[in-house]
Structure 1
Amino acid sequence: MPSASIRHQLFIDGSFVNAESGETLATLNPHDNTTIADVALAGKADVDRAVAAATRAFPAWSRMAAADRGRILLKLADLIEANAEELAQLESLDTGHPIRDSRALDVPRTAACFRYFGGMADKFQGETIPVEAGFLNYTLREPVGVVGQIVPWNFPLMFTSWKMAPALAAGNCIVMKPSEITPLSSLRIAELMQEAGLPDGVVNMVPGLGSVVGQYIAEHPGIAKVAFTGSTATGRRVVEASAGNLKKVQLELGGKGPNIVFEDAFLPAAVNGSAWAIFHNQGQACIAGSRLVLHEKIADAFLDKFIPLAQSIRLGNPLDPETEMGPLTSALHRDRVLAYVDVARKQGGEVLVGGKAPGGELARGCYVEPTIVRARSYRDRVAQEEVFGPFVTVLTFKDDAEAMEIANGTDYGLGSGLWTSNLQRAHKMARDLHAGMVWINSYKRVNPGSPFGGVGQSGYGREMGFDAMREYTQVKSVWVNVDAQIPPHFKR
């Protein structure tokens, strides 16, 4: 089990401190809804303290040699790996992620992200531009300043690294709001940052309510940029709140990923890949393949394999290494997911499997059985709205044109996938899909070097890779008169 010394306070200016109000909020174990810890609940005054600390730290941090910033991030990656088992258990306890996934995916990806951007810190550079004779024109990539970052509850450990690593590598200082539902792993990362040698005030963490702290971060005049991951509805409010000082905004929002299986697909791989696409992390992923779009010729054969696979998934305590699917992260969200089963039935959908919470000892937790629903139309609510759970909608198509119509038939555009052995079709579909990411004969692959983000109602801006460094820098153009002879414009 994680250490009993889990930090429960805010992290501001290099110290763990109580909220100014003294308020706390219980963070619950979604396996049985027992209290793990009472965590300090930040308010506006705490955000002001965090912004002030970040503002003080910014000049020295931004002017530090990029290689030195990188070394701190590389040290942090080493410390994450050295504390991997503690972090994995903490993440599983707080979120419901199966421990097998926290160990094999969440913690290694977190370390890999800090290591990638630690290596990039001194390799991100400006350009020289050929302009008119006699002038040297070059660009500088400068940090934005103090950035606000709002992290969701579904992958708190991993998203902490996705947000922080490029911002720190570029020389920014941070005020981060971890989710008040799952703050523990982010606060543990703050401890490891201290151990890695991060200067005081460079990173500040203020877990609090989105309606209070998230809103205030988005509108705060001392914050130059806000990066938000969460729902599309909340993303719109972030944009509105940011208008006061015209801060930069980066949004990674909802998704309704189409996962298309063509008649020439290799079915065993497509079945297993499609189960991973929707049931990994209980379907609580913006890139989940939540719309299973099957060619009518193979739909029955696919479902004959897919349904038993879904029924065989082992639900249980996320700290049990045998568990394949844990609980959803909160009771409120479990109830929201289950409500979509009624929505599906009212619109003529057929529940093929699941659609309920399990009984027995799991009834105390936030569990939902793997659920497969055959929809009547791609315009049905369950095929349009993000359910964000272990809930997949099945649709069928006759030809490539209809598959594309269904795939692009929502306002979202984040992740998408397709399974085919036809290379020409694969590239054409990848080109025409309205999405920020396309996986061919796979699904949900991510890497620190590959840009991650969406289009349409899925937001704008990119996490990861060189694109993330661009998101956290601004360009300055410098003109130098080397030997240009400029005649006077005004003659006396």
Structure 2
Amino acid sequence: MTDLDERGLFIGGAFVPAHSGATFPVHNPHNDEVFVRVAEAREDDVEDAIAAARSAFEGPWGALTPKERGKLLLRLARLIQDQGESIARLEAKNSGHPIRDVRRFDLVRTVDWFEYFAGMTTKIQGDVIPSSFRGVLNYTLREPLGVVAQIVPWNFPLMFVAWNIAPALAAGNTVILKPAEYTPLSALEIARLTKEAGFPPGAVNVVPGKGSIAGAALARHPGVDKICFTGSVEVGQQIMREAATNLKRPLLELGGKGPNIIFDDADLDAAVQGSLFAAFHNQGQACIAGSRILLHESVWDKFLDAFLPRIRSLRIGDPLDEKTQMGPLTSKDHQKRVLEYVDVAKGEGAEILYGGKRPDTPETSRGYYVLPTLVRAEDPGMRICQEEVFGPFITVTPFAKEEEAVAIANGVPYGLGAGLWTQNLRRAHGVAAQLRAGMVWINSYKLVDPASPFGGMKMSGIGREMGFETMREYTQVKSVWVGYDFEPWRWPE
């Protein structure tokens, strides 16, 4: 891996400084130390990236056959696999995600995404439409959009690079990726590997910078054909407003407040284990986290008697330590925000069952750590049950009847992911049908696969990622009419 003390923007197949010469610091969330400075993209840098992406789309990238695109994506997957350990360590150091989780989830899934969409390049096809006219053939072509801009978040920085650029490239588009300011390093490393894999210059561009400057420039620029964003509802709404100025197509994956319903007939051992992972994997920094446990009153004590000791036993510490199960939050600002919700909980009269503060150990004293926090919230209308905290902070609320659980689950502005635990087949499918969520897990949680559509309802976003559904997002349909034995229409004499 190359020297990471300072890193430029990746535009047109090369690392370059920002026109302004500006850089910004990247902190290690474990100890608050600055370990890298990265070039900060501004409007003129974004212009360069758009020009490079357009040139590649209209030139060498656009000239490749689908099979050739697929081979490049597979080559990139192999390079990521070959350099996996160094990439995993970089990801853990930059994001705070424990190294062993990066290895077994993030890295594996990143390779999976590139492999899956490498195969998808040759599966994008149109249709032959039965025509109502004699002697006429009507068929459709599914074509790339052009230049796609993608603004990705900081919670899974490596995986979100693959999640976004793999399908866009597979469809034949060129991409400009703006990583989060806190976690730009994985995107820059993957960009370096695209060059090593032989991608044409300009096919992939990475412009780290502020969302209010670089991100806004991408959203409103007429030279960008599609804007994709993963993040908060508020920023998503702003991006939609910017994109509307030139009718740019948006793909938005926004917030979540995932209900995790545990019925009285659930396998409680499985529910405890699954709920722990759903809530605290990656320190709870996931839009699909199971952040609201809805617990049947008849199993309240039994579940919590098993669940609380598991929370207390989670090993918190340096993300590069092989034994660590929970690392720091990704930024100091976010640590502050999560702890502010503890004050909100207390102000609303909720009971802190565990956590609600920083861990008190020498190892964690300088980092952005928060203890895993479980809060009893009797009223599902509380702010802590309605607003996305996006951290190791979950609520538990009792219910008595199935219809009550469904009403509570659906009673938030979000509709991304939801889960339920039951051994009753009728209940499992019946409740799943009633939940207003884009994804529902039964006796499981947080399963994600590149072949399965991912996206939300209500305020959780617009569009779908993954599977063939995402190919529809990254392509457009052209209808072609061929009159092979058709007398052209004439004006009456």
TM interval, short-chain normalised:
over 0.9
Q: CA deviation at 1:134?
A: 2.0
Question: Residue 205 of structure 1 aligns with which residue?
Answer: 206
| 8 A Cα contact 1:54 1:175, kept in partner | yes
1:388, 1:216 → 2: CA distance?
Answer: 27
**Per-residue CA distance 1:247-289 (angstroms, 9 max, x = gap):** 0000000000000000000000000000000100000000000
Give 3-state SS (helix, strand or coil) of 1:270's partner: helix
Q: In 2 relative to 1, CA 7–141 (structure 1 residues): closer, same or farther, beyond 3 Å?
A: farther
Question: Residue 62 of structure 1 aligns with which residue?
Answer: 62
Question: Residue 318 of structure 1 aligns with which residue?
Answer: 319
Q: CA deviation at 1:484?
A: 2.8
Match of 1:431 among 433, 440, 453: 433
- Is 1:251–2:257 an aligned residue pair? no
- Is 1:286–2:273 an aligned residue pair? no
| 8 A Cα contact 1:7 1:187, kept in partner | no
| 8 A Cα contact 1:347 1:376, kept in partner | no
Give 3-state SS (helix, strand or coil) of 1:352's partner: strand
2:6, 2:226 → 1: CA distance?
Answer: 27
Instruction: Give the gaps of 5 or more residues in structure 1.
Output: none
Counterpart amino acid of residue 464 in structure 2: R
> In the TM superposition, what are the counterparts of 1:324-403 in structure 2 within 5 Å?
324-361=325-362, 362-403=364-405
Question: Residue 115 of structure 2 aligns with which residue?
Answer: 115
- Is 1:273–2:274 an aligned residue pair? yes
Q: CA deviation at 1:244?
A: 1.4
- Is 1:9–2:11 an aligned residue pair? no
Q: CA deviation at 1:487?
A: 4.7
Give 3-state SS (helix, strand or coil) of 1:292's partner: strand
1:7, 1:408 → 2: CA distance?
Answer: 46
1:491, 1:467 → 2: CA distance?
Answer: 46
2:264, 2:130 → 1: CA distance?
Answer: 52
| 8 A Cα contact 2:41 2:208, kept in partner | yes
2:130, 2:484 → 1: CA distance?
Answer: 13
Question: Residue 479 of structure 1 aligns with which residue?
Answer: 481
Question: Residue 454 of structure 1 aligns with which residue?
Answer: 456
Counterpart amino acid of residue 257 in structure 1: G
Question: Residue 230 of structure 1 aligns with which residue?
Answer: 231
1:330, 1:233 → 2: CA distance?
Answer: 19
Q: CA deviation at 1:7?
A: 6.0
Question: Residue 470 of structure 1 aligns with which residue?
Answer: 472
Q: CA deviation at 1:243?
A: 1.1
| 8 A Cα contact 1:296 1:397, kept in partner | yes
Identity of aligned residues (%): 57
Give 3-state SS (helix, strand or coil) of 1:418's partner: strand
> In the TM superposition, what are the counterparts of 1:210-225 in structure 2 within 5 Å?
210-225=211-226
1:273, 1:131 → 2: CA distance?
Answer: 52
Give 3-state SS (helix, strand or coil) of 2:159's partner: helix
Counterpart amino acid of residue 332 in structure 1: D
Question: Residue 191 of structure 1 aligns with which residue?
Answer: 192
| 8 A Cα contact 2:171 2:471, kept in partner | yes
Question: Residue 407 of structure 1 aligns with which residue?
Answer: 409
| 8 A Cα contact 2:137 2:481, kept in partner | yes
| 8 A Cα contact 1:7 1:184, kept in partner | no
1:44, 1:227 → 2: CA distance?
Answer: 18
Q: CA deviation at 1:3?
A: 5.5
| 8 A Cα contact 1:27 1:35, kept in partner | yes
| 8 A Cα contact 1:6 1:184, kept in partner | no
**Per-residue CA distance 1:404-442 (angstroms, 9 max, x = gap):** 000000010001000000111111111110000000000
Give 3-state SS (helix, strand or coil) of 2:459's partner: helix
1:487, 1:331 → 2: CA distance?
Answer: 70
Q: CA deviation at 1:210?
A: 0.6
Counterpart amino acid of residue 410 in structure 1: V
- Is 1:128–2:133 an aligned residue pair? no
Q: CA deviation at 1:122?
A: 1.0
Count of paired positions:
490
Give 3-state SS (helix, strand or coil) of 1:136's partner: strand
Give 3-state SS (helix, strand or coil) of 1:364's partner: coil
Counterpart amino acid of residue 388 in structure 1: F
Counterpart amino acid of residue 29 in structure 1: N
Give 3-state SS (helix, strand or coil) of 1:287's partner: coil
**Per-residue CA distance 1:328-378 (angstroms, 9 max, x = gap):** 000110010011011011111000000000122212100000100001311
Counterpart amino acid of residue 278 in structure 1: A
Question: Residue 30 of structure 1 aligns with which residue?
Answer: 29
| 8 A Cα contact 2:377 2:385, kept in partner | yes
1:286, 1:63 → 2: CA distance?
Answer: 37
2:412, 2:248 → 1: CA distance?
Answer: 29
Counterpart amino acid of residue 424 in structure 1: R
**Per-residue CA distance 1:282-326 (angstroms, 9 max, x = gap):** 000000000000011001110111111000000000000000000
Q: In 2 relative to 1, CA 335–381 (structure 1 residues): closer, same or farther, beyond 3 Å?
A: same
Match of 2:422 among 399, 420, 423: 420
Q: CA deviation at 1:482?
A: 2.1
Q: CA deviation at 1:480?
A: 1.1
1:248, 1:114 → 2: CA distance?
Answer: 23
| 8 A Cα contact 1:147 1:226, kept in partner | yes
Q: CA deviation at 1:463?
A: 1.2
2:141, 2:308 → 1: CA distance?
Answer: 55
**Per-residue CA distance 1:140-159 (angstroms, 9 max, x = gap):** 11100111100100111100
Give 3-state SS (helix, strand or coil) of 1:171's partner: coil
Instruction: Give the gaps of 5 or more residues in structure 2.
Output: none
1:432, 1:479 → 2: CA distance?
Answer: 43
Give 3-state SS (helix, strand or coil) of 2:478's partner: strand
Give 3-state SS (helix, strand or coil) of 1:147's partner: strand
2:420, 2:286 → 1: CA distance?
Answer: 18
1:366, 1:418 → 2: CA distance?
Answer: 32
Q: CA deviation at 1:25?
A: 0.5
| 8 A Cα contact 2:5 2:37, kept in partner | no
1:484, 1:124 → 2: CA distance?
Answer: 30
| 8 A Cα contact 2:53 2:205, kept in partner | yes
**Per-residue CA distance 1:71-128 (angstroms, 9 max, x = gap):** 0000000001001101100000000000010111101100110110011101111111
| 8 A Cα contact 2:4 2:36, kept in partner | no
RMSD over aligned Cα atoms: 1.0
Give 3-state SS (helix, strand or coil) of 1:51's partner: helix
Question: Residue 71 of structure 1 aligns with which residue?
Answer: 71
TM-score (norm 1): 0.98
Give 3-state SS (helix, strand or coil) of 1:410's partner: coil
